[in-house]
Amino acid sequence: METLNQLNFARIYTLGRIKQSKESAWDIKPSGFNNTIRWNVGHIYVNGEILTQKAIPSYEIVHPEWSPLFVPGTSPDEWDIEPPTIEELITALKLQSDRIKEAIEPNLHNQLVESMSIGNMLQMDTVDALVQFMVWHEGVHAGIIHALNRATTE
């Protein structure tokens, strides 16, 4: 249960960083940054959906059409379709929290159907371990959003 509390905390923190963002800055990519606020917000959302489905294979991804924009390795420089609006992304993040918690909570201590590894540094075999990775991942990107907020207002 503490893992889900951490996931909730990460989302609250992320939403706070987003609230500090100026709409005019969402698509600015300052020198030294690979992506924008919009990309990082979408990436957090899409990764949450993909990892939840990895943890719970029956979980249906909401907004699968966003994946080509926000999966690792993508960039707003390469977008050839219109990305979701700020409002769509914020609403999706807010709704996602309860949906993920509902899917994961009864399965937190289950083994993953297929283990997941990050290089040879991290091996995840349980739903709980995967959710802990989700918390870390969201925190990293929330920090990038915070840095982008500072870089685009100075």
CATH number at residue 97: 1.20.120.450
pLDDT for 154: 59
pTM above 0.75, yes or no: yes
What CA–CA distance (Å, rounded) separates 22 from 137? 23
Please give the average per-residue pLDDT across 78-100, as a whole number: 97
For the cut 80, the answer to whether the pLDDT of residue 1 exceeds it is no
Number of domains within the chain = 1
pLDDT at residue 27 in the model? 97
Residue 13, domain extent: 2-151
